[in-house]
Amino acid sequence: MSQSPVRRLAGALLLGVLAVPVSAAEVNVYSYRQPHLIQPILDEFSKETGIEVNVVHAKEGLVERLRHEGRNSPADLMLTVDIGRLVELVEADLVAPVQTPTLTADVPPQYRDPEGKWYGLTTRARVIITSKERVAEGAIQTYEDLADPRWKGKICTRSGKHDYMVGLFASMIAHHGEADARTWLEGVKSNLARRPQGNDRAQARAIKEGACDVAVINTYYIGNMLEDPEQKGWAEAVRVVYPNQADRGAHVNISGMALTKSAPNRDTAIRLMEFLTGDRAQQMYAERNVEYPVKPGVALAPLLASWGELKSDELALTEVARYRSAASKLVDIVGYDD
Ligand code: FE
């Protein structure tokens, strides 16, 4: 029995459609995120779609590289952390807006660019940590409390110029205005136990070692420290305080992605973007680095779930990013790092 012409045509079309992606199905990713965080997820994507994902990973310089390569860049998708880096890509005119029903449904508005020039993939809260031994539970509850003179000589942080601190200070400006944010930052500075130094984990260590009692760090570092035998004790010495739960919620930042303007594999890159905001990838991505999925309803890593529900500041990160340079200047004005 011969096939009907319609079925033959459908078959030919199907072959035609399949023939193209098989030869050209790849997507090139420039990633500031470490391979162990993303590779298993990208492998899943390849397994599901047959699309090959090539990753260039680096700690620095990928934005510069993209800029230098210009229209000839092989990069399709940038993966990075911090709203500062994503805005930097937009300002350098290196990214293309993309909006699909899936992406806009998966990623809440506060965690994506209004035009689709970047999308958050995970969030991390900048939380207060306190010494379990020396600070009573509930003694400090808000970022504003960090400026209270009762904490004189008790607080440590990393450099005020680091992206994570600039993000937090920018959110203070966004909520309180520049004058009040300045007064607050002067208050925090006068409470510092030592000159700002070290990374986030070093602040937990300082609490463990008694150099200070209160610090601010990103949530996932608690998870990271617990997995490291040398650092486990630092994490166990501190209590995590979700800030501002009775009002606007904790300041959060994101890891995210952006489609490049020059993307040679635009369509496959968008498929990958949609995969990354889907349930399975969201859960894997968030769990691997103890971050929060951006997509509502996706299960939390057990450690995060154990801390209870997090109320996050819902102010759009584009709004926060607007005050980044003012925040950075404020750090100089108050001599935060001096
Ligand atoms: Fe980090």
CATH number for the domain spanning 138: value is 3.40.190.10
217 CA to middle of ligand 1, Å?
9
How big is the chain by its Cα radius of gyration, in Å? 22
103 CA to middle of ligand 1, Å?
25
pLDDT of residue 320: 94
Tell me the C-alpha distance between 80 and 33, whole Å: 6
159 CA to middle of ligand 1, Å?
13
147 CA to middle of ligand 1, Å?
24
220 CA to middle of ligand 1, Å?
8
109 CA to middle of ligand 1, Å?
23
Does residue 322 share a domain with residue 188?
yes
Count of structural domains within the chain = 2
* Lowest pLDDT segment from 178-182, 187-191, 196-200, 308-312: 308-312
284 CA to middle of ligand 1, Å?
18
Share of the chain above pLDDT 70, in %: 93
The 10 Å Cβ neighbour count of residue 57 is: 16
Structural domain span for residue 182: 125-251+313-333
Does residue 67 share a domain with residue 166?
no
315 CA to middle of ligand 1, Å?
21
43 CA to middle of ligand 1, Å?
24
Handedness of CA 59, 62, 64, 68 (dihedral sign): positive
pLDDT of residue 24: 61
Does residue 317 share a domain with residue 177?
yes
40 CA to middle of ligand 1, Å?
20
Tell me the C-alpha distance between 157 and 172, whole Å: 16
**Stretch 50-61: mean pLDDT:** 95
Q: Does 166 reside within a domain?
A: yes
Share of the chain above pLDDT 90, in %: 90
221 CA to middle of ligand 1, Å?
7
Does residue 321 share a domain with residue 201?
yes
Does residue 203 share a domain with residue 320?
yes
Does residue 11 share a domain with residue 106?
yes
For the chain, the average pLDDT equals: 92
Encode burial over 149-174: b for 16+ CB neighbours within 10 A, e otherwise. eebeebbbbbbbebbbbbbbbbbbbb
Predicted model pTM: 0.88
44 CA to middle of ligand 1, Å?
25
3-state secondary structure the chain: CCCCHHHHHHHHHHHHHHHHHHHHCEEEEEECCCHHHHHHHHHHHHHHHCCEEEEEECCCCHHHHHHHHHHHCCCCEEEEECHHHHHHHHHCCCECCCCCHHHHHHCCHHHECCCCCCEEEEEEEEEEEEECCCCCCCCCCCCHHHHCHHHCCCEECCCCCCHHHHHHHHHHHHHHCHHHHHHHHHHHHHHECCCCCCCHHHHHHHHHCCCCCEEEEEHHHHHHHHCCCCCHHHHHCEEEECCCCCCCCECEEEEEEEEECCCCCHHHHHHHHHHHCCHHHHHHHHHHCCCEECCCCCCCCHHHHHCCCCCECCCCHHHHHCCHHHHHHHHHHCCCCC
For 98-117, write each residue's pLDDT tens digit: 999 999 999 999 999 999 99
218 CA to middle of ligand 1, Å?
7
* Lowest pLDDT segment from 54-63, 147-156, 231-240: 54-63
182 CA to middle of ligand 1, Å?
25
Does residue 279 share a domain with residue 193?
no
**Stretch 193-222: mean pLDDT:** 98
Which tokens sit at 152? Answer: 């004189």
69 CA to middle of ligand 1, Å?
27
For 81-102, write each residue's pLDDT tens digit: 999 999 999 999 999 999 999 9
**Stretch 302-316: mean pLDDT:** 93
For 67-85, write each residue's pLDDT tens digit: 999 999 999 999 999 999 9
Does residue 260 share a domain with residue 112?
yes
pLDDT of residue 11: 43
Does residue 115 share a domain with residue 134?
no
